[in-house]
């Protein structure tokens, strides 16, 4: 499979009163085209910081200190990669929501309460798809589907310009002038039409009526679906879901997971980066999984290998502490708590809580070692662990 | 087994005020007639989705939200006379000495601890309400309580924000047991915590229940979490209790379709098992205007005519396993036919 | 159990204070604000030494040599010059600093105490008292400050004390509203519910849990008010309702210079000193408090905590 996204030695720090928080320490993950990659870990392990660094939406006082984020949009030409960290802010804005889009945990915070659903989904098209919409409107005019009436020459000129360069100064000036600014109306209508289309593709039956409603009319599960619709509007190659189902009820979460699976099967989404703390969600939806702890990547493997033959002591402990249907008795725990990343433990960051820690763990940082089949582990005691 | 609490037809309606005169025009039926006995020393799990009334049940028992109607009988452990808490005022509860017997641990330890108080003062607060203490004596007692929840005396002079989520929840537990309670409502005590810490807190709570002979009402939305700690589980939907059974019985033989949906909806952390998922249509109806008949019939895959007309009573199906469903005899068969299996292990 | 934060052996309250101070003084405007404030405070405290009064019993009465209405420019005897009526501007500025602090502290203190106690009771207990109090506050909101001040002056005579009273009588309404909304927010907080469950009495809950968590917006408002009250009092003095002629009050000094703001046509800035010194004092005093208020707001912003 061709690579879609690869981070190389990503380092992100937060500069706070207590000192600099080393939130990410050389994190390297890679996601292939068509793959669902799960990033799991406890709160504060840096999984959200990783994707925020990838999207370059780290907020002050966070700073991306180093590394590369290679993004290879075209599966046919895997050598054409671009480093997202050196792109201009302008180019990143075009990329976000178009090629890579993101869903957040709280649908209430992601939707604007004073805009209708239709307007919010259409926003995505109005920002990223002006060219193609203008072309379509021109085609519709040619085929007689819509007509501009007496304004035809002006509007045709405007849309011809817009299909070449939607940010042309003449068009921007027009959008500021009274009456003339109405030139964009047919485009808005087209954007809302497309929104109805994308909402229908998510399996919501009354989409045409839904787009006229406001977020407060919808239930939590429906809101999260709309957020997904916004994210999928421009056919992104990568969808990042940051704890997208964590705040939903069990039965609603089941609906959303089912929807994501269904979209995946229908090829409406190609690659997904799923960030969650819920190992159950990972087991059910992901192809490959990365486990993070205190800003480092401990283990990467495909889902079956990770759950059946985990190697890193942290992964093992984490899997043991999850409540399961078929296991009785006391839950296993990981003693202690997550270290403060202002002063992370020297050597392996997990060693203070690790039962198998030896002297080398306290002194040297373990490197991520490839065990074959895409299974890599960062631990000094790999050989002993595999045997167990 | 002796009872510690008896809830009889407990109702809690939140009025919705409207008009200029602020008259109640409608009400949210958060709790619509609950009958429940809680036995001494047990841990009763209350499970349901948001808005089903599980937290309201807990808060109504503690009188944080005074119930609209119904009775709550409390039988003290020292053999004293029983009280109907539902009709008592706060000061009356204080006077009869039962206020501190009923405590609560909240969901989010960041908001349940006063950010401007030192740990020492937070834990000393309930102690000072019970009797006068000397300074040295009080500190020893506080350290003792901290030891009990797995913290040490070094943590005394700190503020809550200097602790991790799990440690904060330990502090909240220490504060609750400082009041020397008999009954504690645990309102989603682990849902704000990480998996590994969740296991720590669950084990701690289990240990404390045995050690101090406590009775728990464990409110949660996650069935797997209560499986480890509860002796009995009650499932709630839209202000009603729909199933009540021993933990093993519920997991081995759930009788309500909604319980099956909850059980199968939990993402299973085991990629080898290919368990069926019952995906319910739609959302929980509004508690302002709950459906007639069985409240679940609008989403139930097995609803028949009678479900829309009659509200099924909570009846004993077998050996203390109570369920409110018209088709309780055939549920398991129906689930197996439609979704392949009715077992989740 | 591992410590979440490595902490040195020092008292936690001192550690918190240090952190708060760090957050306040991280802001350059706070440094400017507090230096200005310290300067004015120094002037006010050292007033008897900086400008010894002529009569011990009436230090606020500005000394004047002669009655000539034409101001005199700065000279060796009167380093800031003299105002209309030959009042010494330097003396007025120095003692005016004391007046400014008096006005601010009295008005803010009075309004704060009334506002906080009523607001806390209304917000915490709610019910009919809350309803009644808030409707009364609505009525107070409809009273124009100027009309109230004029009424009081007509009834009790002209004087700075009466103006301060008028200001205090209308200013408390702000504090009631702010603290009440804070208290209502806190009332439903889980730590307050937990305290109720333990049987802690309402009065202890208010002093232990409610006040320490709701006082910060009031502190910010009070520091801003310290400045704006001085402006209001100056305005009253300027329109002739406040301090009597010759009283060491910056507003009154601007009023004295009213006819000399613009000099003769050939030299419009001839009497600049009459208006400049009292004017700049008022501006800097208000600026100091506003900068401090801004810095406090940034420091106490809960969203920015622990960064």
Q: If pLDDT is split at 50, 70 and 90, which confidence band does C307 have?
A: very low
Q: Chains contacting B with at least 3 CB pairs below 8 Å?
A: A, C
**Beta carbons of B114 and B122 less than 8 angstroms apart:** yes
Domain boundaries, chain A: 3-114+214-286, 117-198, 292-385
DSSP chain C: ---SS---SS-HHHHHHHHHHHHHHTSHHHHHHHHHHHHHHHHHHTHHHHS--SSTT-TTBPPBS---SS-B---SSSTT-B-TTSBBHHHHHHHHHHHHHHHHHHHHHHHHHHHHHHHHHHHHH-HHHHHHHHHHHHHHHTS-HHHHHHHHHHHH-S-HHHHHHHHHHHHHHHHHHHHHHHHHHHHTSHHHHHHHHTT--HHHHIIIIIHHHHSHHHHHHHHHHHHHHHHHHHHHHHTTSSSPTTBS-HHHHHHHGGGGSS--TT-TTTTHHHHHHHHHHHHHHHHHHHHHHHHHHHHH-GGG---
What integer pLDDT is reported at residue C2 of this predicted model?
Answer: 39
Residue B79 falls in which region: left (phi positive, over 0), alpha (psi -120 to 50) or beta: left
Q: For B242-276, what is each residue's pLDDT tens digit?
A: 999 999 999 888 899 999 999 888 888 888 777 77
Q: Do B129 and C7 make contact, defined as CB atoms within 8 angstroms?
A: no
- Nearest of B53, B155, B67, B54 to residue B113 by alpha carbon: B155
Q: If pLDDT is split at 50, 70 and 90, which confidence band does C303 have?
A: low
What integer pLDDT is reported at residue C102 of this predicted model?
Answer: 92
Q: Do C1 and A337 make contact, defined as CB atoms within 8 angstroms?
A: yes
CA distance B122 to chain C (A): 9
Residue of B nearest to C212 (CA): B116
- Nearest of C44, A24, A280 to residue A289 by alpha carbon: A280
**What average pLDDT score do residues A195-209 get?**
86
What integer pLDDT is reported at residue B102 of this predicted model?
Answer: 92
Cβ pairs bridging A and C (under 8 Å): 21
Query: CA-to-CA distance for A28 and A10, rounded, in angstroms?
Result: 7
Q: Do B203 and A331 make contact, defined as CB atoms within 8 angstroms?
A: yes
What integer pLDDT is reported at residue B153 of this predicted model?
Answer: 86
Please give the C-alpha separations between residue A101 and each of A176, C78, C224, in angstroms, as whole numbers.
30, 72, 44
Model confidence at C5: pLDDT above 50? no
- Residues present in chain B in total: 345
Chain B residue numbers with beta carbons less than 8 Å from the beta carbon of A221 are 283
Global pTM reads 0.86
Q: For C52-90, what is each residue's pLDDT tens digit?
A: 888 778 888 888 888 888 888 888 888 888 888 888 889
Chain A residue numbers with beta carbons less than 8 Å from the beta carbon of C23 are 17
Model confidence at B169: pLDDT above 70? yes
Average of per-residue pLDDT values in chain A: 87
- Please name the residues between 14 and 73 in chain C that touch chain A, using a CB distance below 8 Å: 19, 22-23
Query: CA-to-CA distance for C119 and C123, rounded, in angstroms?
Result: 6
CA distance C181 to chain A (A): 23
Identify the residue with better confidence: A301 or A335. Answer: A301
A3-114+214-286: what fold? Rossmann fold (3.40.50)
Average of per-residue pLDDT values in chain C: 87
| Interchain CB contact of C2 with A (< 8 Å) | yes
What integer pLDDT is reported at residue C210 of this predicted model?
Answer: 94
Share of chain C above pLDDT 90, in %: 36
Q: If pLDDT is split at 50, 70 and 90, which confidence band does C139 have?
A: very high
- Nearest of C1, C195, C13 to residue B175 by alpha carbon: C195
Residue of B nearest to C204 (CA): B125
What integer pLDDT is reported at residue B96 of this predicted model?
Answer: 85
What integer pLDDT is reported at residue C9 of this predicted model?
Answer: 62
Q: If pLDDT is split at 50, 70 and 90, which confidence band does C305 have?
A: low
Q: If pLDDT is split at 50, 70 and 90, which confidence band does B181 have?
A: very high
What integer pLDDT is reported at residue B294 of this predicted model?
Answer: 92
| Interchain CB contact of B210 with A (< 8 Å) | no
Cβ pairs bridging B and C (under 8 Å): 77
- Mutation for testing the B interface, residue in A250, A260, A328 having most B CBs under 10 Å: A250
Q: If pLDDT is split at 50, 70 and 90, which confidence band does C306 have?
A: low
Model confidence at A106: pLDDT above 60? yes
Give the phi and the psi of residue B24 in degrees, each rounded to 5: -65, 125
Model confidence at C301: pLDDT above 80? no
Q: Which residue has the tokens 């232990």?
A: C208
Pairing mode of beta strands A296-302, A368-370? unpaired
Model confidence at C262: pLDDT above 70? yes
| Interchain CB contact of C1 with B (< 8 Å) | yes
Share of chain A above pLDDT 70, in %: 99
Nearest to B261 among A251, A282, A335 (CB): A251
**What average pLDDT score do residues B296-321 get?**
90
Query: CA-to-CA distance for C61 and C54, rounded, in angstroms?
Result: 9
Q: Do B162 and C4 make contact, defined as CB atoms within 8 angstroms?
A: yes
Q: Do B99 and C197 make contact, defined as CB atoms within 8 angstroms?
A: yes
Query: CA-to-CA distance for C302 and C307, rounded, in angstroms?
Result: 11
What integer pLDDT is reported at residue C104 of this predicted model?
Answer: 93
β strands within chain B, DSSP E? 3-18, 23-39, 43-47, 69-74, 83-84, 102-105, 183-187, 215-220, 232-237, 240-246, 315-318, 321-323
Contacts for B120 with CB less than 8 Å, ≥ 6 apart: B139, B142, B156, B157
Q: For B4-55, what is each residue's pLDDT tens digit?
A: 999 999 999 988 887 777 788 888 888 988 999 999 999 999 999 888 889 9
CA distance C3 to chain B (A): 8
**What average pLDDT score do residues A76-86 get?**
84
Share of chain B above pLDDT 90, in %: 49
Q: For A350-374, what is each residue's pLDDT tens digit?
A: 999 888 888 899 998 998 888 888 8
Query: CA-to-CA distance for B170 and B319, rounded, in angstroms?
Result: 37
Residues β-bridged to residue A376: A300, A370
Q: Do C200 and B125 make contact, defined as CB atoms within 8 angstroms?
A: yes
- Please name the residues between 91 and 130 in chain B that touch chain C, using a CB distance below 8 Å: 93-94, 99-100, 102-104, 106-108, 111-118, 125-126, 129
CA distance A5 to chain B (A): 25
Q: For C101-135, what is each residue's pLDDT tens digit?
A: 999 999 999 999 999 999 999 999 988 999 999 99
- Mutation for testing the B interface, residue in A40, A278, A279, A337 having most B CBs under 10 Å: A337
Model confidence at C244: pLDDT above 60? yes
Q: If pLDDT is split at 50, 70 and 90, which confidence band does C6 have?
A: very low
Q: For A7-55, what is each residue's pLDDT tens digit?
A: 999 999 998 877 888 999 989 999 998 899 999 988 888 888 999 999 9
Q: For B102-128, what is each residue's pLDDT tens digit?
A: 999 999 888 999 988 999 999 999 999
């Amino acid at each position: 499979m061709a690579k879609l996204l690869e981070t190389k030695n990503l380092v992100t720090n937060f500069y706070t009163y207590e000192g600099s928080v080393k939130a990410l320490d050389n994190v390297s993950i890679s996601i292939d085209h068509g793959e669902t990659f799960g990033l799991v870990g406890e709160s504060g392990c840096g999984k959200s910081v990783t994707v925020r660094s990838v999207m370059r939406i780290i907020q002050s006082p966070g700073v991306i200190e180093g590394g590369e984020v290679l993004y290879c949009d075209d599966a046919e030409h895997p050598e054409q990669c671009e480093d997202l960290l050196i792109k201009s802010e302008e180019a990143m804005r075009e990329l976000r929501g178009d090629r890579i889009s993101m869903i957040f945990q709280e649908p209430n915070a992601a939707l604007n309460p004073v805009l209708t659903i239709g307007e919010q989904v259409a926003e995505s098209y109005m920002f990223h798809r002006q060219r193609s919409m203008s072309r379509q409107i021109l085609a519709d005019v040619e085929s007689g589907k819509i007509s501009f009436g007496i304004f035809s020459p002006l509007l045709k000129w405007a849309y011809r310009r817009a299909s070449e360069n939607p940010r042309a100064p003449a068009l921007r000036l027009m959008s500021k002038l009274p009456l003339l600014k109405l030139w964009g109306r047919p485009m808005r209508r087209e954007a809302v039409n497309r929104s109805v289309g994308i909402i229908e593709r998510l399996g919501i039956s009354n989409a045409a009526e839904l787009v006229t409603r406001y977020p407060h009319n919808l239930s939590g599960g429906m809101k999260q679906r709309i957020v997904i619709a916004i994210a999928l509007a421009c056919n992104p190659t990568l969808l990042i879901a940051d704890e997208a189902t964590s705040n939903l009820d069990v039965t609603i979460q089941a609906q959303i997971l089912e929807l994501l699976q269904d979209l995946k099967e229908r090829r409406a989404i190609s690659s997904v980066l799923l960030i969650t703390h819920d190992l159950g969600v990972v087991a059910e939806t992901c192809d490959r999984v990365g486990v993070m702890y205190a800003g480092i990547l401990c283990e990467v493997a495909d889902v079956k290998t990770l759950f059946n033959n985990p190697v890193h002591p942290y992964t093992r402990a984490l899997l043991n502490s999850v409540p399961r249907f078929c296991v009785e008795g006391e839950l296993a725990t990981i003693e202690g708590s997550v270290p403060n990343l202002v002063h992370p433990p020297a050597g392996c960051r997990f060693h203070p809580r690790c039962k198998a820690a030896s002297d080398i763990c306290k002194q040297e940082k373990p490197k991520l070692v490839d065990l074959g089949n895409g299974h890599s582990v960062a631990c000094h005691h790999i050989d002993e662990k595999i045997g167990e | 087994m002796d009872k510690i609490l008896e809830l009889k037809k407990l109702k809690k309606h939140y009025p919705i005020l409207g008009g200029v005169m602020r008259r109640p025009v409608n009400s949210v039926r958060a709790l619509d007639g609950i009958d429940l006995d809680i036995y001494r020393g047990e841990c009763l799990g209350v499970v349901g989705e948001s808005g089903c009334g599980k937290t309201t049940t807990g808060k109504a028992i503690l009188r944080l939200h005074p119930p609209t109607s119904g009775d709550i009988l409390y039988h003290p452990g020292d053999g004293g006379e029983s009280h109907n808490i539902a009709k008592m005022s706060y000061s009356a509860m204080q006077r009869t000495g039962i206020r501190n017997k009923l405590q609560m641990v909240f969901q989010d330890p960041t908001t349940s601890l006063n950010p401007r108080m030192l740990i020492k003062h937070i834990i000393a607060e309930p102690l000072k309400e019970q009797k006068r203490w000397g300074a040295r004596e009080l500190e020893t007692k506080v350290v003792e309580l901290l030891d009990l929840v797995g913290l040490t005396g070094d943590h005394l002079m700190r503020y809550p924000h200097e602790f991790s989520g799990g440690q904060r929840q330990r502090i909240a537990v220490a504060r609750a047991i400082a009041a020397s309670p008999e009954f504690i409502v645990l309102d989603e005590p682990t849902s704000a915590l990480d998996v590994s810490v969740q296991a720590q807190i669950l084990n701690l709570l289990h240990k404390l229940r045995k050690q101090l002979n406590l009775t728990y009402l464990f409110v949660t939305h996650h069935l797997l979490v209560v499986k480890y700690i509860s002796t009995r589980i009650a499932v709630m939907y839209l202000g009603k209790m729909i199933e009540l059974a021993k933990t093993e019985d519920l997991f081995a033989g759930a009788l309500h379709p909604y319980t099956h949906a909850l059980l199968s909806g939990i993402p299973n952390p085991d990629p080898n098992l290919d368990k069926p998922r019952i995906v319910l249509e739609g959302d929980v109806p509004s508690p302002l205007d709950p459906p007639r008949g069985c409240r679940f019939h609008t989403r139930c895959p097995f609803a028949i005519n009678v479900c829309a007309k009659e509200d099924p009573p909570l009846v004993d199906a077998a050996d203390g396993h109570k369920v409110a469903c018209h088709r309780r005899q055939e549920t398991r068969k129906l689930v197996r036919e439609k979704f392949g299996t009715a077992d989740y292990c | 159990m591992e410590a979440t934060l490595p902490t040195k052996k020092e008292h936690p309250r001192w550690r918190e204070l240090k952190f708060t101070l760090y957050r306040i003084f991280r802001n350059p405007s706070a440094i400017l604000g507090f230096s200005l404030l310290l300067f004015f405070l120094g002037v006010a405290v050292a007033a008897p030494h900086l400008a010894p009064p002529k009569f011990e019993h009436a230090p606020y009465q500005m000394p004047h040599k002669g009655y000539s209405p034409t101001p005199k420019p700065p000279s060796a005897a009167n380093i800031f010059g003299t105002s209309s009526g030959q009042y010494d501007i330097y003396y007025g500025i120095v003692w005016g600093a004391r007046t400014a602090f008096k006005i601010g502290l009295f008005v803010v203190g009075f309004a704060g105490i009334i506002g906080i106690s009523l607001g806390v009771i209304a917000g915490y207990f709610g019910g009919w008292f809350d309803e009644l109090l808030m409707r009364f506050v609505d009525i107070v909101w409809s009273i124009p400050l100027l009309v109230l001040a004029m009424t009081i002056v007509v009834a009790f005579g002209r004087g700075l004390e009466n103006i301060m009273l008028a200001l205090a009588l209308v200013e408390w309404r702000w504090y009631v509203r702010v603290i009440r909304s804070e208290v209502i927010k806190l009332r439903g907080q889980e730590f307050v519910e937990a305290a109720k469950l333990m049987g802690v009495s309402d009065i202890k809950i208010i002093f232990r849990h409610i006040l320490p968590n709701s006082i910060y917006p009031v502190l910010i408002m009070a520091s801003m008010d310290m400045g704006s009250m001085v402006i209001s009092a100056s305005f009253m003095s300027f329109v002739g309702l406040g301090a009597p002629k010759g009283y060491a009050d910056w507003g009154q000094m601007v009023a004295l210079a009213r006819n000399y703001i613009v000099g003769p046509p050939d030299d419009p800035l001839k009497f600049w000193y009459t208006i400049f010194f009292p004017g700049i004092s008022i501006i800097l005093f208000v600026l100091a408090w506003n900068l401090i208020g801004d810095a406090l707001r940034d420091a106490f912003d809960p969203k920015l905590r622990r960064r």
